[in-house]
Amino acid sequence: MSLISARTRRPRHRAVDKVAELHADNQRLITQLVGAAGHITRLELQLKEARTHQAEAEQVVVCLDADLIERTEERDELRDELATTRALLAPYLAAEANAAAVTVPASERDTTAIEDQATTPIDVRPLWDAHGIAPVRVADAPDLDDPRTPTWVPDPDSETTQSLRVIAA
């Protein structure tokens, strides 16, 4: 027998092999069916339990809703009764507050001690008024054409000089 003929040879399909394969598939499917039946039974029990819990929860919700409605009505009645009682007691409460009022004369601070002396107000005038000086006027600025004028003196039209200008009175 040659090497090439062994490779090209097709496997034989025997009926006995096919029957054994079908029996194995049948056993596998029966096992799956039994497992699925057990799983379905467990799921049905869980569904029955869940429906029981749902019915109990619905009953609790209905009872709580009825209790909430009852408490709300009771709260509204008590609120109305409280408003009526306050309106009736208002004159009595006002009279009692006036009778028990604490009146205290206006107090004066004793400033005889040196540490309690009052301070003087802060002087908030402009500095030239406070120190008796006048601001620099553009008319008083040195002449830029004069050769004796230092080079650091700003031009009369620059921003620095403009901010220093004061309108002469």
Divide the 169 residues of the chain into consecutive groups of 10 and give the mean pLDDT of each group.
Answer: 58 80 91 89 94 94 95 96 94 91 78 77 80 66 66 58 44
Geometric angle at alpha carbon 136, from 130 and 139, rounded to 5°: 145
pLDDT of residue 17: 85
Q: What is the pLDDT of residue 157?
A: 58
If DSSP states are collapsed to H, E and C, what string results for 17-49? Answer: HHHHHHHHHHHHHHHHHHHHHHHHHHHHHHHHH
What is the C-alpha separation between 112 and 110, in angstroms, rounded?
6
How far is Cα 30 from Cα 23, in angstroms, rounded to an integer? 10
Is the sign of the CA dihedral 130, 133, 137, 143 positive or negative?
negative
How far apart are alpha carbons 140 and 161 in whole angstroms? 12
Task: Give Cα 45 distance to the centre of its chain.
Answer: 46
